[in-house]
Structures are given as C-alpha cells and as structure tokens.
Amino acid sequence: MFLSYIHVYCCYCIINRNGTIRVKARLFGFSIINNNRLNNMGDRMSVALLVTTYNWPEALKLVLDSVLKQNVLPDEVIIADDGSGDSTKAVIDAFKKKAPMPVKHFWHPDEGFRKTIIINQAITGTASDYIIQIDGDIVLHELFIKDHISEAEKGFYIRGSRVLLPEDKTARFLRSGIFGRVATFGRGVRNRFNSLRIPVLAPLLIKKSKRSRNLIGCNCAFWKADFLKVNGYNNELKGWGHEDIELAARFINSGLSQKKVKLKAVCYHLHHPFNDRVHENINYRVYLDTLKHGITYCTNGYYH
C-alpha cells in the first residue's frame, strides 16, 4: 500500500478577554492509503517483484522480511527457485502466511544452474505490467519498490545498483535472522555510494544510454511487454554468467534504452563466495554475438 501524507490548514478564532478576536491557522498532517501505483509518466501500473533463489534459505528469509517492510508493496511476489530443497520451501511457505499480496513459488528439479529457464517459467505466472527483479541475497531498503515504480518509463529498462556487505556483517545478520543497520562508512562495506538514498538529487545522476554490458540482474526492472517482445531470457546460456547482459543487449537491439538509477532503489547484497564460472566465457561470446548481429529475439526463451 502506498501511504500519502496530506497537509491540511485549519483556521480558527480566539476571542480575547478584552473582546478582540484573533484568527489563527494551524497545519495538520495525516496519512491516507492510496493503492494507485503511478510511474513518472503518471500512469497506473501493476507490479510484480521477481525473486530468484537457490538453496540459501537463511538469506532468502532476510530478503522476504524486507519485502514485508516496503512502504509500497508490489501487487504480487513471484519466486523463481532453481531447484532448492525443503528448507527454502519452508521459508517461502512461512512468508506466504504473512504476506498481504499473492505469492507464487515456481520450482524445477536441481539439474545445475538453470536460472534462465526458471525465470522464464516464473514470468509466465504473472499478468503484471511491470517486473522488478532481484536475487535471493538482495535485502531491500524500505522504499525500494516505491523508488522503482517512480522511475518506470516506457521505452526503458532500469539498471539499479547495490551495496556490497562484508562477510562478517553478513554472517551476523544470518545468525540473528534480523537485518540490522548498515552504515555508509561502516567497516568493510563496498560500493558505499550506493547506500545513499537522496531522491531530490537522483535526477541529476540518471543516465540514459544504449549500454547493456553493465546490467546487473540482482537489481533491475522492465516492462513485461518488452520482455515478451525479445522472448525473455536465453535458455541456451548454461551455467553462471551474463544471462542478464545478453537480455539487455536484445532490449537495446529492439529499440529500448537503459535508464541507470542512482540515489534511489537502494539494496544490500549479502556476501557469499563466487559461483562456479566455468561457462562464463562461452556465455559472454553469446552476448558479443547478440551485439554484433543485432539479435532481438532468442529462439529458446520464454516461448520455446
């Protein structure tokens, strides 16, 4: 729900003992519930939050807890699960009981890194206009969803940023099950600038471009119609790496531009070891080929 703060001026009269009258004004403020989701073009839109996950239930719990704390809630949460075990299912089931919005859990058997396939499958389950995508190790600032909605714009996909948390702070949050305060200049925090939320200055740092190489799938957003137009994620990319920038390249080739957002949509990346990157170079060559040949549509994607 979106809470709008309304200011109301009230005038009233005071009669003094000597018979004179004083007129005073007072400013009152209160909140009202506003379920409209308006982007920066003033359009109403339905929003799905897409969360990818694989066998890290402790991190996923922190992420889903941060979803419940959002000032503006998504219309639905869709979870793309790349073959996690029962512990992850238990976390998701507990979240479903607390969540005021629909929660849909999409799962397939664990047959290695098949993130593109499960994301495509999960997106078949939403009718929302707009999709905000994060990973299951990305904890959200309470105004994350609101900020993304405010920056949604036709003709663009969003490239967000994230704060990188140190190993010791991540371990402490995971042990306690509670995500604590993160100071911008805290020890070990990386990408410190990305922890700042200053909406009034954000427009000064907006960058619109035809770039694709810098997209990070852990904090991005796109219109579902644009996603379908390029046939979603490319299922030919096996293993970790570059499925996000390959999608972005097809977005660009199809006529979209990138909108890079700073000082808004703040999120925190929990520390973890690097994934196996044995397929990274192969996937990167697919990305380069997509750029070189101006490919807009993958043959094995959302539709296959």
**pLDDT per residue as tens digits for the range 1-44:** 433 433 433 443 444 444 444 444 444 333 333 344 666 666 78
Contacts of 248 (CB under 8 A, 6+ apart): 157, 159, 211, 212, 213, 215, 258
The pLDDT confidence band at residue 278, using thresholds 50, 70 and 90, is confident
The two tokens of residue 183 are 């100071």
The tens digit of pLDDT for each residue in 124-134 reads 999 999 999 99
Beta bridge mates, 3: 33
* Predicted TM-score of the model (pTM): 0.87
Strand partners, 269: 138, 164
Sole residue written with tokens 């919005």 = 101
* Strand duo 257-260 + 156-159: pairing: parallel
Phi, psi of 257 (to 5 degrees): -125, 160
Give the three-state DSSP class for 254.
coil
CB 232 within 8 A of CB 128: no
Per-residue model confidence as pLDDT tens digits over 81-108: 999 999 999 999 999 999 999 999 999 9
Structure tokens at 203: 């427009």
41 vs 237, which has greater pLDDT?
Answer: 237
CA distances from 184 to 48, 162, 173, 302 (A): 29, 12, 17, 39
Q: Which letter does DSSP use for residue 32 in this model? A: E
**161-193 pLDDT tens trace:** 999 999 999 999 999 999 999 999 999 999 999
